[in-house]
Structure 1
Amino acid sequence: MQPIFITLNSFQSKEVQEKGQGHFFPLIAHAGAQGAEIRRELFSEEGGSLQDLRTQLEEAHLTSVYSAPVDLFNVLGSLNKEAAALTVMEAITLGASLVKFSLGHYNMQRSSVTELKEWLASLSPNDHNLQITIENDQTNHGGSLEKIHHFLKEAKEQHVPVKMTFDIGNWSFTGEDVFSAAKVLSEYVVYLHFKHIEQQNGRLVTLPLPAGETSEWRELVSHFSNDIPRAIEFPISDGNEACSYTALLANA
């Protein structure tokens, strides 16, 4: 059975910001999930420290992933060093096993993967068992299959310790084919985000996974290794739904 994570943005954002992300850890643990994805964008000024969250995670017997809305490469195609370094340090403080960035404005001609390798070595994430990943986001620049594949191929060739978080739903926002992306990128993927996307009233909306045996997401999982952690990233209203969807995803 694959480890299941529940992202904190699966719950109502206002409630998460008011109560704090740690408030949901018992619910996540009770649902049978093994981990929580902490979201930097849901921190509130009144919230506790990262160390407090780490303690709460340990008390709930949960592991963690850290997600921050930070581009690895800035609009000039250069490394976004200051913001990315801060994010890595936050993930280490949290005790996260994985940190997730957006690729950002990676330029296939100008952006330096060699510089990335040297910069990462200075941060020593491996000393803290922290895996660095980039995710296909919902932007045309950060969700480009061509750019993501180019970057990950370069990183592999140069032994740069960066892998991929593959979000099955975000390809809908960038007009890419999810099965083509899975075929090309599966060897780099270490973490999977699950959501269902439909067009409603002229816009794309995120919905829970359909349970049907012929649902597209069920076919997609066959492209990836069975031991890759899977994350729920779609609306959950209560503990019963959390239990139901955790079981659905774990047993697919």
Structure 2
Amino acid sequence: MDKKLVVINTLVFKNYMEKGFKQEEIFEYLNELNLSNIEIRREFIRNFSTELEMFSKLSKKFRINTYYSVPKYLFIDGEVNKKNILKYIEEAKKFNCKSLKLNIGDYRGYAGNLKEDLRGILDTKISINIENDQSVENGTCKNIIKFLEDCKKENIDIGYVYDIGNWSWINEDEMENAKLLKDFTRHIHLKDVKRTSDGLRTVLLNEGNILWKEVLDIFPKDIPVSLEYPCEDFSVIKEEIKKVLEY
């Protein structure tokens, strides 16, 4: 894989975050590895007024592209979560963000006018994308495709982040869903998942049940791919990056 397509989601550094490590510290580390993409997680931000400004400075200093992962819903109780979404977009603008990722939420209960209700949200240069989560209520392929096809009919510019692992939690097939969703996909979240006696567990690549390389083969070769799973330490992170680069 082209190094320019590899994105590091800061969930990779979860173990360090829990010990006080800040997302801003990851920029220099990625620069040392000659990587040029970071995906900031909103839930890891402790001080928005200072950290967003720091992300902006560091992204310019190291020429690192920034993506923004926001674990919030586009639809809540069948309505567009407009007020909050606009707030997340303003946050993303503050650190030169390329793309904002949201969970789809309760689209099944939506009966409004998409074009009208999304007005203002799409008036930005930031790419807006939704992702499949781990809930049967919102994360099914059927629900995702219905929304994306409705957007396409209305010429609404919202794309899709394909999470390779989340399908396991709702008992859907990641390979088949990749075929159905590839034309909508702008970004991929990569992880492996293992079925154990205690349930499903996110694991390192090649240690689970997902044939991740075969899934990636389904997609165009110019889509950014985020590593999105906790790694124990820096040495493990380097090994995981190596696996992806060797793909």
* TM-score using structure 2 length: 0.91
Aligned residue identity for 2:181:
L
Contact 1:136/1:166, CA 8 A, preserved across alignment: yes
Alpha-carbon shift at residue 242 of structure 1 (Å): 2.5
Q: Rate the CA distance shift 1:43–1:157 in 2: closer, same or farther, 3 A.
A: same
Indicate whether 1:233 and 2:235 are aligned.
no
Contact 2:10/2:39, CA 8 A, preserved across alignment: yes
In 1, Cα distance between the equivalents of 2:163 and 2:9?
A: 12
Which residue in 2 is equivalent to 1:60? 62
Alpha-carbon shift at residue 117 of structure 1 (Å): 4.1
Alpha-carbon shift at residue 234 of structure 1 (Å): 1.6
In 2, Cα distance between the equivalents of 1:17 and 1:170?
A: 27
Question: For this pair of structures, how many residues does the alignment match?
Answer: 245
- 2:17 match: secondary structure: helix
- Deviation per residue, 1:141-160 (Å, 9 max, x gap): 22111110010011111111
Aligned residue identity for 2:84:
A
Q: Rate the CA distance shift 1:53–1:218 in 2: closer, same or farther, 3 A.
A: same
Indicate whether 1:103 and 2:98 are aligned.
no
Query: Which region of structure 1 is more displaced relative to structure 2, 192-201 or 26-35?
Result: 26-35
Contact 2:15/2:231, CA 8 A, preserved across alignment: no
Which residue in 1 is equivalent to 2:141? 145
Which residue in 2 is equivalent to 1:179? 175
- Deviation per residue, 1:107-150 (Å, 9 max, x gap): 266143223442334xx212xxx110000111122211111001
Query: Which region of structure 1 is more displaced relative to structure 2, 146-155 or 172-181?
Result: 172-181
Unmatched segments (≥5 aa) in structure 2:
none
Unmatched segments (≥5 aa) in structure 1:
none
In 1, Cα distance between the equivalents of 2:42 and 2:90?
A: 13
Q: Rate the CA distance shift 1:95–1:177 in 2: closer, same or farther, 3 A.
A: same
Query: Which region of structure 1 is more displaced relative to structure 2, 179-188 or 21-30?
Result: 21-30
Q: Rate the CA distance shift 1:189–1:46 in 2: closer, same or farther, 3 A.
A: closer
Query: Which region of structure 1 is more displaced relative to structure 2, 233-242 or 188-197?
Result: 233-242
| Superposed structure 1 runs of 4+ greater than 6 Å apart | none
Query: Equivalences for 1:124-203 in 2 at 5 Å?
Result: 124-126=123-125, 130-203=126-199
Contact 2:75/2:105, CA 8 A, preserved across alignment: yes
- Deviation per residue, 1:65-112 (Å, 9 max, x gap): 10111100002x110011111111111112111100000000266143
In 1, Cα distance between the equivalents of 2:201 and 2:232?
A: 16
Contact 2:193/2:210, CA 8 A, preserved across alignment: no
Q: Rate the CA distance shift 1:33–1:211 in 2: closer, same or farther, 3 A.
A: farther
Corresponding residue to 1:10 among 12, 19, 22 = 12
Alpha-carbon shift at residue 195 of structure 1 (Å): 0.4
In 2, Cα distance between the equivalents of 1:142 and 1:167?
A: 14
Which residue in 1 is equivalent to 2:242? 247
In 2, Cα distance between the equivalents of 1:16 and 1:48?
A: 19
Alpha-carbon shift at residue 47 of structure 1 (Å): 8.0
Which residue in 1 is equivalent to 2:35? 33
Query: Which region of structure 1 is more displaced relative to structure 2, 94-103 or 30-39?
Result: 30-39
Provide the identity percentage: 25
Alpha-carbon shift at residue 251 of structure 1 (Å): 3.3
- 2:120 match: secondary structure: helix
* TM-score using structure 1 length: 0.89
- Deviation per residue, 1:157-190 (Å, 9 max, x gap): 1111100000000111111111121111100001
Alpha-carbon shift at residue 61 of structure 1 (Å): 2.5
Which residue in 2 is equivalent to 1:114? 115
In 2, Cα distance between the equivalents of 1:11 and 1:81?
A: 31
Which residue in 2 is equivalent to 1:51? 53
